[in-house]
Each structure stands twice: as structure tokens, then as C-alpha cells.
Structure 1
């Protein structure tokens, strides 16, 4: 996605007047448009004499966003990813890592889906701690104010053993390598992802091994429903940006998602069919509260059969 001026040749409603209107609101690219409140933009357009034409331009942009992205994945991409032998990042939950043949794969978006208290956030804490302590940078996007340095300390202490100096050194390394951002709406998420993209492309030495969004559904679900074209376009854009960051910079991306009632009362992942195409890997979590044993079930995986399952413990 790029500058709006490049759309003038293909779309009659995106003309010089429309570009000037957008520029007056600080909008020069599709990315700028996405992080702007479209309702306010429409309200501003309605105050002008050419409001109908401007609103047609706004609707045209929303339509373009939904159709301009390349397919999420095809056979050639799968083959290339397989041949590149992308590394797996261990989560620190041994049985879980063994089941996934090493952990979470770099270059992929992995979705952890399940009801509340099914282990999604705890796995996020474990993989963030493990990667930050040993491998490199982690960007943790926290939508519910749930990030816990105390929990990170517990995990690092367990992994490090009983040598106090080693524990302290590993803890400082882990906390230094975890870059945590509070993101409470979709616009904040897009802004952080856009800044992250810029840092990765233009800052020498800036390296990220893992991106976590906990939870993606709490940010996207409020903007969906009804005929909210902007909400769907924003969801598509977020998915595209996450997959592009994962692929271009060889980053493991993890998102968490809750579950909603489907046909017959059966639970299914939230966010609908359009989002279903975003993650490369989709894992459903469950928990036996009596034994504190967690379960993982493969909903989708490019290299493993759907329906596979395993039990694991979260230390």
C-alpha cells in the first residue's frame, strides 16, 4: 500500500479535489487513511459542497483496501518456506515444543485460540521470556494491560537454575529485550506496526525475533459487525501487515484469539472467515482445571495434519 496519488489514474473518484481534501486531514497514503477515524472524515466531507463526491472517494478507498492485497498464501510460498528451513523458537513448555516439532516457526503467524484461562497468555509469557533471554528482541503488544514482569521473572528464574548471578543476568537481558506496548484500539495497533516496520527497514542493528499480540480479537471485534466497511478493511490491513512483517523479516508472530458460539452452540474462533485465512498456524487451547493440564489441538498447520492433539504442562 502506498501514496494516494498513484490511485488517480485508475479511479475517477480519487481525483485532485479528493487528494486535497485528504491532505487537509494529514492523509497522504492508504496507511494514513487506515489510522484515521473514517466517521470523522465523512462528517468533515459532509460540510463541503462536493460532499457526495468526497464520500464516494472514501468508499472507493475502503473497497480498494479489501481487494488490493495479494493472496495470503499459495503453493509456491509454502514450498519456499519449507525449503528455507526457517528456525523454530522454543516456548519453554517442553511437551508443547516437542508436539510442534521445535516450537513456533519464524516467518509464520501463529494464532493461539481458546476460551479464557486456557493458557494462551501464559504460553505468550513463556515464549517471550525464553526468546528474550537467549535469542533476541521481542515486541509484546498488550491490549488488556496483562503483561507481567513478575511472571517473566518467575519463568526466567526457573529456566536459569539456582545460580543467583546467572538468574540476575538472564533477567536483565530478558527484560531489556522485551519491548512492551499498550495498545487499546485498532488504530494504536496499526501505528505501532507501522513504526515497527520503519524501524526494521531503516534502523541498522534493530532486530526482532518475535512479535506477540495479546489479544488480537479484543482489538478487532469491536470494529466489526453490521455494514462496517472500515472495520473489515482495518482487519484485512492488520492481517496483511503482520504476515508481511513475519515473512520479510523472518519473525515469528503470535496472536491470541477468543472463541464465540457457532452453529449448534459449538465454539469457534472469533473474527470470522476473513480472519481465518490470516494465520499460517491455528492452535486451539483447552485446560483441565482440576489437574491443571493444558491441551492443544491443531486447527490448521502447513506441515502438520489438522486434528492432531497433545497435553502439556505450563510450569
Structure 2
């Protein structure tokens, strides 16, 4: 990756000294120049420069790998038993049991997972939960690492993070010392522009190594670009998003960590209504005026879709849609390489998101009418005293 610093590329001696003195600090700085330019700039023989360029190129170029090598890297110790390869790869659990079952363990490592939904539906709450879970020891389902939380909307709340941790996991956070340990492991970045975000992502690799981070949260990917780029700058916006997506994918794959991003929704005027019927909406769907805080209802022949367009959508490996219908919140698997399209009812409490029933709804083809596996999944319901409405 071009953002790698020369100091990490095993370039030593006079070449390393000359590169540093000429402020050529990253692989990109070197590889964007011709060898002739480098000979003149570094005042070194052509063969020495050529050898250094080759070494740098080899360090940053992707290596060829077989599927077996990739698969073996993804296995946890003990995953190969009796000569058989197990298909359940390590994940970051959401602690929403039915959802984790459908995703075969939780949020996948080494890829981008997107949370999509209107304001107030609980996307940031789920991000805070995942940040906490990533810091937990591996023997209780965590990743035992730090979390880099990139907050582009100034929505991150340390108070809410602590509340979720202590209410949901009182045994893991029984005292002030445990809470302080948690808060010291969540690193918050607040970029002030889309270019600033890109620059921070380019420099994030070093921080990931230094801090031993095991999760990246970007909340939200849409906020800065949508506020800074108008309709007459769509090409520039898409180019920037493409670069951001490439960096996030690189970090996810290189460190084999989950990258979780939130995305906003946008109205598509004149499009046919796509309001799902998760087994309870009448076939003759009524036009509903949007309720406060929820733009996903159907009105005036408009429907909502994830923001940022098709190019960004292709960069996402897993998409979870958080939405509300008939007063009930649902989290829906809209895109996954391993899970069917299912929807799960949930509520928000002091301890974060909880599944509000054991129902698993078929959400394929815009929302099916059958309910799958009803009553087959058990989980703890939230205490009604702590139920809250953030919508």
C-alpha cells in the first residue's frame, strides 16, 4: 500500500538517510517519481536507486496467494479437526443471538460491514456496543484489542458507552477500574472534512500497529461527503469514496479485523414503494405519512435507499438495515455472502440493542409473509424499566 512509511520497508543505510532528508517518507512518495528523478534528487548511482525502488515495490505490492492459504489464515486454532476444514470463521459477536446465528457468529473479520438506516433508529448504539465487545477478552467472545472510532457527526458519547457497558455486562465492568480500562481502549478520531478523513485513513495503518487495534468504526461514511459535495460534483465525490473504500478494505484485510461503517438513507422520488411486510403488514399496503424521526415510511410515491450510490454499495461486504415499521424496529440482513435475507425485531434499552422477541422473519423479495423458526431462538429480554425511544 502506497501509504506505508519507508521506515517500515527495510530500507537502510545511505538510501534510507537520503530518502528521509529529501522528505520522501512513504512508498507513494518514491514510486510516483521516475528513477531518473530519484537519481538526481538522492544523488545516488542509478543501480542503487533501481534496487531501492524494486525493494519498495516488492514490499507494497499484493502477493499472490492460493485459496487454501487464505482459508488457513482465517481459521482459529483447532478449527481443523479430524482432517476436515470447518466453515465457521472467527467473528465479532453482536450479542443479538438470532442475528449472530444467521451471520454464523457475528460481524465478519477482514471485510466491511455497513449499518444503514434513518436517524434515531439505533445505528450509533450498535456501533458503541461493538466497540465494547471488541475490547473484551477472547475467551468471552471479544477481540481483546482496541477500537478506533471515527466520529464524523460528533455523535459519540463516552457517557452512553459506559452506560451500555455497565448495564449489559456488569460482570465484566464491576468497578471504576474496569470502566477506565475500557475507555482507554476506545480511541476516538473526529475528522473535520472529507479530505481530512481520507488523510487520517491513509495514516491509520501505523496507528493500528502501534495501538494493537482490532476494530475500526466509521460513523458515518456519508456525513462529510454529502455535506461538502453537491449534485454537480458527483464524480469527485465518487472518486473520493472509492479511495476511502479501498483504504478501509485494505485495513480490514491486512489486519484481519472487522470494519463497521454507518450510512444514511435518501429518498428516491417516484420509485415504487418497497415497504416490507414482515408477516404482519396487509397485502393492500396503505400510504403512510412519515412518523417523527422515521423517514422509511411510504409517502407520495417515494421510497428510501442507502445513500452514496452503487459504487459505494459494491465496496460493502455485509449490509445490515435498521428500520422501523408499524412501531416496531427491525434489523434486516440486506446483503451477506453467507446469510439469507432475514429480519429480527429489536428494542433499545439502557444496555443497548436487544432482540424484542424470538421471531425470525423472512425478508427476501422485499419482505416475505412467512415467519421462520418462531420460538426456536432463546435470549434475554431487556428489562422494561430501561426501554427507551431514540427515534
* Same fold per superposition (TM over 0.5): yes
Rounded to whole Å, the distance in 2 between the matches of 1:140 and 1:147 is: 9
The 3-state SS of whatever aligns with 1:197 is: helix
Question: Is 1:175–2:204 an aligned residue pair?
Answer: no
CA distance in 1, matches of 2:177, 2:103: 29
- Deviation of residue 184 (structure 1)? 2.7
- The 2-side partners of 1:213 and 1:128 are apart by 11
| Higher Rg of the two aligned structures | 2
Q: Distance in 2 between matches of 1:160 and 1:228?
A: 44
**What is the rounded CA distance, in whole Å, between the counterparts of 1:257 and 1:3 in structure 2?**
30
Matches within 5 A, 1:1-315: 1=2, 3=28, 6=31, 80=71, 84=75, 86-134=89-137, 135-161=144-170, 166-200=174-208, 203=210, 206-221=211-226, 222-223=228-229, 225-262=231-268, 264=271, 265-287=302-324, 290=327, 293-305=328-340, 307-315=341-349
- Judged with a 3 Å threshold, the aligned counterparts in structure 2 of structure 1 residues 249 and 242 are, in CA distance, closer, same or farther, namely same
SS of the residue aligned with 1:183? Answer: coil
Q: Provide the rounded CA distance (Å) in 2 between the counterparts of 1:166 and 1:100.
A: 30
User: Cα offset for 1:229?
Assistant: 3.9
Q: Which runs of 5+ in 1 are unaligned?
A: 10-14, 21-69
The answer on whether the counterparts of 1:124 and 1:212 sit within 8 Å (CA) in structure 2 is: yes
Q: What is the DSSP-based 3-state SS (H/G/I as helix, E as strand, rest coil) of the residue aligned with 2:232?
A: coil
- What is the Cα-based RMSD across aligned positions, in Å? 3.2
Q: What does residue 66 of structure 1 align with?
A: none
Query: How far apart, in 2, do the equivalents of 1:115 and 1:154 lie?
Result: 23
- Post-superposition offset of 1:185: 1.5
TM-score scaled by structure 2?
0.56
TM-score by length of 1: 0.69
Unaligned runs of 5+ in 2: 3-26, 42-61, 76-87, 138-143, 272-301, 350-391
Number of residue-to-residue matches in the alignment: 249
C-alpha distance in structure 1 between counterparts of 2:29 and 2:159, whole Å: 46
Match of residue 58 from structure 1: none
* Partner of residue 353, structure 2: none
**2: CA distance, partners of 1:288 / 1:174:** 35
If asked which structure has higher relative contact order (CA below 8 Å, sep 6+), I would say 1
